[in-house]
Amino acid sequence: MVSEVTGTAQPDDGAAGGLRGQSRTQKVVLAGVFSGMVILLGLVPSIGFIPVPTPAGNATTLHIPVILAGMLAGPVVGAVVGLTFGLFSFLRATTPIFKDPLVAILPRLFIGVVAWAVYAGALRARRGLLVVIAALAVFLAGSFAWQVHLHRPTLGSIYLILVLAAGAALVYFLWAGKPEAVAVVAGAVLGSFTNTALVLGMAALLGYLPVQGVLLVAITHGIPEAIVAAVIASAVIGALHGTTGRQRSDL
C-alpha cells in the first residue's frame, strides 16, 4: 500500500513475504503445492523448458514456483521449494555438472530467499528508487530483445514491442500509486538471476565450465529466463493481490 503523505510503499501485515494471516499449516501446504509445481514442470519438458533463440536453446521455468513461493509465503517456504528444485535437478541429472550437489542443489536454496527480500524491500522503497528498478528491468529485457532482433528481425521486433508495452505498464502502475507491480518484477528478475549466477558461478569455481564462457551463457540463458519469470510472476501475483485494481488489504 502507498502512503498518501510520502508516496512510499507501506506494506501491511503480509508484505514481508506473503498473503496476510498465513498459519504454519498454510505455509506447509503452500510449500507442498509449489514443490509439486516444480516437479510437474520438470516432468513435462514442453512447459518446463521453453525454446528460445539463444545458444542456451531453452529457458527453464522450474525456478518460477520457487520465486512465487518466496514472494507469497516468505523466505523459509522459498528455501524449502528451492531445495525441491535442487533435489529434482540433482536426481535427474545426466551431465557431470548437475550430478554435483554443490551446483545442482546449493544455489537453488537462495532463489526464493532473494526473491522475497527484493520483493519486500521494493514494497517499502521510495518511488524514485522504484523508477530506477523499473528502468533497469526494461533495459535488460530490451537488450535481450535487441540481441534476438539481430538474428531474427521479426521475432526481435515482437519482443521489443512487448518490452515497450511492459515498460509503459510499469510507468502507469508507479504513476497510479501501485508499486507492487514493480516489486514483483524486481523480485522475479533478481530471483531468476540468482539461480543463473550461482549455478554458473559454482560450475566455474569447481572447474566444470571455463570462466570466459560463463558470462556469455549468463547473458544468453539468464535474461530469457528472467523475462519469463517476471511475466508469469506478475500474472499470478497480480491476480492474487489485485495489482491492477484491488488493494492488498482486501486479502
Exposed, middle or buried, 33 (CB in 10 Å: 0-12/13-18/19+)? Answer: middle
Strands 49-51 and 58-60: antiparallel
What's the pLDDT at 115? 96
> CA-to-CA distance for 147 and 143, rounded, in angstroms?
6
Q: How does DSSP classify residue 51? A: E
Q: Which residues lie below 8 Å from residue 108, measured CB to CB, with a gap of 6+?
A: 63, 66, 82, 83, 85, 86, 89, 195, 199
> In which element (H, E) is residue 162 found?
helix 153-175
Q: Which of 14, 130, 121 is nearest to 73 (CA)?
A: 14
What's the pLDDT at 39? 93
- Let me know if residue 3 belongs to a domain: no
What's the pLDDT at 51? 63
The residues facing 59 across adjacent strands are 50
Count, residues in the chain: 251
Query: For the chain, what is the domain count?
Result: 1
- Please calculate the CA angle 56-62-67 and round it to the nearest 5 degrees: 115
> CA-to-CA distance for 208 and 120, rounded, in angstroms?
35
What's the pLDDT at 53? 56
- Let me know if residue 210 belongs to a domain: yes
- Give the pLDDT confidence of 106-150 residue by residue, as tens digits: 999 999 999 999 999 888 877 777 788 778 777 877 777 787 677
CATH of the domain at 169: 1.10.1760.20
- Give the pLDDT confidence of 146-200 residue by residue, as tens digits: 876 777 787 678 778 877 877 777 777 777 777 788 888 889 988 998 998 899 8
0.85 exceeded by the pTM?
no
> CA-to-CA distance for 57 and 73, rounded, in angstroms?
32
- Let me know if residue 14 belongs to a domain: no
What's the pLDDT at 11? 42
Largest separation between any pair of C-alpha atoms in the chain: 56
In terms of residue numbers, what domain contains 31? 24-250
Q: How confident is the model at residue 241 (pLDDT cuts 50, 70, 90)?
A: low
- Let me know if residue 2 belongs to a domain: no
- Let me know if residue 136 belongs to a domain: yes
